[in-house]
Amino acid sequence: MKSSWKALFVIIGIVAMLLSACTTESQLPASDETIETSTVEEPKSEEEPIQENKFICSLTGIGVEDETETKYRPIAVMIDNEVSARPQSGLSAADIVYEMPVEGNITRYMAIYHHGASEKIGPVRSARPYFIDKALEYGSIYVHCGGSPQALKDIKDLRIDAFNDLVGTPVFWRSTDRKMPHNLYTNTRLMREVSSSKKLENKTAPQYFRFNNDFVVPDGGNGQNIVINYDKNYKVSYVYNEQEKVYYRKINGDNMKDKETKEDVKTTNIIIEKVGLKVIDKVGRLEVSNITKNRGYLITGGKLIEIEWSKTSRNGKTIYKNMNGEEIIINKGVTWIQIVPEYVKIGFGE
Ligand SMILES: [Zn+2]
């Protein structure tokens, strides 16, 4: 009798262990994120099929109505950020926006357009090689007006699909309310039309980030207010809005607004990449150390965590990892990526 009871307890123990192992395993993908597991996992609950029917933008993680919007090829547009170019138009329609230094103690933007539409984008400015390095990561069409000698050589040598106003691609116009070179504009409709007619819609957007299923406030330091002192005359800051779960963007202390819609420019995620910088010619053009690894920050949900970014080749994707070596998972929404020289002071706090 005694020994059979013992045997029964052992069996119960084993069954309990197996059950707990199964539970842990099946819970893992759900708490992580959907994209990687959706092909292997069979629907287990009523929620699963609903997720499968959603069309998800791979650059923002946002669900969109029309599947064709998720199939668009990304378009990277170089946007002027000199004083005469502000306020800019159409930045809010981009999925991802980069800001990087250029000669003249100022920065330039490169906005990645995908499912969003805008009737006016610009002012469009010239190409730089280190922006091309990022545009290549998306397989994007690169949109610019001229460029540095190296950038123009790169576009030719690497056979990059590009729309350049200086060679007359019919996607641009000059506005009359601003002076050259701060008055060149484009829009998503014209760019998509030319892209289709030139048969360039042959690439779709990569799965650029991993996204949290539900909004996650990271376990990090205080990231309610971020100040990036690019130059004594140029300061970018972000202020977190707890209700909207987004950051409002400011230039020299004033809210950044779209020239056309007058709406505030906002973002869900901010990534800061620290970089080495070198002046390479008499004009003051820069070389940015972006094919290497360095530190940075992920800022979302009012918190910030330290990260390490790495990039091993010009078209290789930049990988962002937390300090435990795990790839970061960001919140669904727009991301602004700030490329910041190591010497630039960054302020954090409430
Ligand atoms: Zn998109």
CATH of the domain at 113: 3.50.90.10
How close is the Cα of 125 to the center of ligand 1, in Å?
23
**55 part of a folded domain:** no
Query: At 16, phi and psi to the nearest 5?
Result: -60, -40
Select from 131, 165, 197 the last residue of a domain: 197
**152 part of a folded domain:** yes
How close is the Cα of 279 to the center of ligand 1, in Å?
35
Tell whether 186 and 218 lie within a shared domain.
Answer: no
Tell whether 246 and 173 lie within a shared domain.
Answer: no
How close is the Cα of 46 to the center of ligand 1, in Å?
27
How close is the Cα of 340 to the center of ligand 1, in Å?
25
The reported pTM is 0.85
Tell whether 214 and 341 lie within a shared domain.
Answer: yes
How close is the Cα of 208 to the center of ligand 1, in Å?
11
Tell whether 278 and 156 lie within a shared domain.
Answer: no
pLDDT at 54: 79
**27 part of a folded domain:** no
Tell whether 184 and 270 lie within a shared domain.
Answer: no
How close is the Cα of 92 to the center of ligand 1, in Å?
12
Determine contact, residues 253/225, Cβ cutoff 8 Å.
no
pLDDT at 349: 76
Pick the closest to residue 190 from 233, 232, 141, 227 (CA basis).
Answer: 141
Select from 197, 231, 252 the last residue of a domain: 197
How close is the Cα of 114 to the center of ligand 1, in Å?
4
Contacts 24+ apart (CB under 8 A), 94-98: 94/334, 95/57, 95/59, 95/60, 95/334, 95/335, 96/59, 96/60, 96/208, 96/334, 96/335, 96/336, 96/337, 97/267, 97/334, 97/335, 97/336, 97/337, 98/131, 98/134, 98/336, 98/337, 98/339
How close is the Cα of 203 to the center of ligand 1, in Å?
14
Residue range 215-261, pLDDT digits in tens:
999 999 999 999 999 999 999 999 999 999 999 999 999 999 999 99
Query: At 110, phi and psi to the nearest 5?
Result: -130, 115
Tell whether 192 and 221 lie within a shared domain.
Answer: no
Tell whether 252 and 334 lie within a shared domain.
Answer: yes
- Which two tokens mark 181? 């070179």
**23 part of a folded domain:** no
Give the β-pairing of 319-322 and 303-310. Answer: antiparallel
**243 part of a folded domain:** yes
Tell whether 114 and 227 lie within a shared domain.
Answer: no
CA distance 95 to 218: 21
CA distance 145 to 167: 9
How close is the Cα of 170 to the center of ligand 1, in Å?
24
Give the β-pairing of 246-251 and 254-255. Answer: antiparallel
Query: At 66, phi and psi to the nearest 5?
Result: -105, 125
Tell whether 139 and 260 lie within a shared domain.
Answer: no
Determine contact, residues 108/130, Cβ cutoff 8 Å.
no
Select from 197, 223, 258 the last residue of a domain: 197
How close is the Cα of 117 to the center of ligand 1, in Å?
10
How close is the Cα of 288 to the center of ligand 1, in Å?
27
pLDDT at 222: 96
Q: What is the CB neighbour count within 10 angstroms for residue 123? A: 26
Domain count, the chain: 2
Determine contact, residues 283/203, Cβ cutoff 8 Å.
no
**54 part of a folded domain:** no
Residue range 258-278, pLDDT digits in tens:
999 999 999 999 999 999 999
How close is the Cα of 95 to the center of ligand 1, in Å?
6
Low pLDDT (below 70) residues in the chain:
1-53, 350
How close is the Cα of 207 to the center of ligand 1, in Å?
10
**10 part of a folded domain:** no
Determine contact, residues 130/287, Cβ cutoff 8 Å.
yes
Task: Give the environment of ion ligand 1: residues with CB less than 5 A.
Answer: 57, 59, 95, 114-115
Q: Please identify which residue in the block is written with the tokens 């910088």.
A: 277
How close is the Cα of 304 to the center of ligand 1, in Å?
24
CA distance 122 to 142: 14
pLDDT at 100: 98
> Which residue range(s) make up the domain with 119?
67-197
How close is the Cα of 186 to the center of ligand 1, in Å?
18
Tell whether 222 and 191 lie within a shared domain.
Answer: no
How close is the Cα of 103 to the center of ligand 1, in Å?
31
**257 part of a folded domain:** yes
Query: Between the CA atoms of 302, 88, 204 and 135, what dihedral angle is there, to the nearest 10 degrees?
Result: -90
Tell whether 79 and 146 lie within a shared domain.
Answer: yes
Tell whether 87 and 156 lie within a shared domain.
Answer: yes
Determine contact, residues 226/298, Cβ cutoff 8 Å.
no
How close is the Cα of 127 to the center of ligand 1, in Å?
23
Pick the closest to residue 298 from 350, 248, 343, 335 (CA basis).
Answer: 335
Query: At 271, phi and psi to the nearest 5?
Result: -115, 130
